[in-house]
Structure 1
């Protein structure tokens, strides 16, 4: 007769298999319906260092290896509206994106190195201006 050690091992494997299956199902269900925040995060490389909120949206600022990237995201998506976003490194020219978009303007990227940057964003006539940041 067996000592019962094999039964415990089988239970652990079944429990682990069930947990992996449940995680896979959750990932499959969450995958197609990713939120707009996750979709915007994929537009710029690096890590998010600032979020500049305003009444009609926000500007997300990312930094990676001396580059700064920004995206203006509308609070309400759907209809096209006037949007713009710009990033300027101190002493340089701004990178801009301006137009009529339904979801976001940008991404725009500048090489800042260790210099300060000025970020601006506007959606439907409302906006934000950061002043010199990331110094």
Structure 2
């Protein structure tokens, strides 16, 4: 073997070793997002109300919604509903600790009506995203 090959092999080994050491020192999860979004697509609207919020996402003709509680922890009555104009609403309702949903409907270019509640607080939009 020539000295050029040996030097290249040693350099490649050193780079690999340095990368492994950096990954070990950084640990898992460094630089990653805190939590993945429950719905695909981009966030288009946040609807706040006294006890929580409803977050709407949109991707390729679909609208997805999630209701979040302002005070997660104890189980409380929560709901989320999305209805595309001309269709039936899609709902998630129950006693949850942190969020209700996600619920997703195909809206195409139609308007949607979104409702959400946490305990006694609620929001209802009327026809939006037309």
Residue of structure 2 in register with 1:70 after alignment: 65
Structure 1 CA distance for aligned equivalents of residues 28 and 126 of structure 2: 40
Instruction: Select the residue among 91, 102, 105 that pairs with 2:97.
Output: 102
Deviation at 1:125, TM superposition (A): 1.4
Bigger fraction of residues in helix:
1
Q: CA RMSD in A?
A: 2.4
Residue of structure 2 in register with 1:28 after alignment: 29
Residue of structure 1 in register with 2:127 after alignment: 132
Q: Post-superposition, which runs of at least 4 consecutive aligned residues in structure 1 deviate over 4 A?
A: none
5+ residue gaps, structure 1:
1-16
Post-superposition CA distance 1:25-82 (Å, at most 9, x none): 3973464x92xxx44x2x1111110000011110000001000000000011110000
Indicate whether 1:49 and 2:44 are aligned.
yes
5+ residue gaps, structure 2:
1-17
Q: Which protein has the larger Cα radius of gyration, Structure 1 or Structure 2?
A: 2
Alignment: residue pair count: 112
Decide whether aligned partners of structure 1 residues 57 and 30 sit closer, same or farther in structure 2, where only a CA change above 3 A counts.
Answer: farther
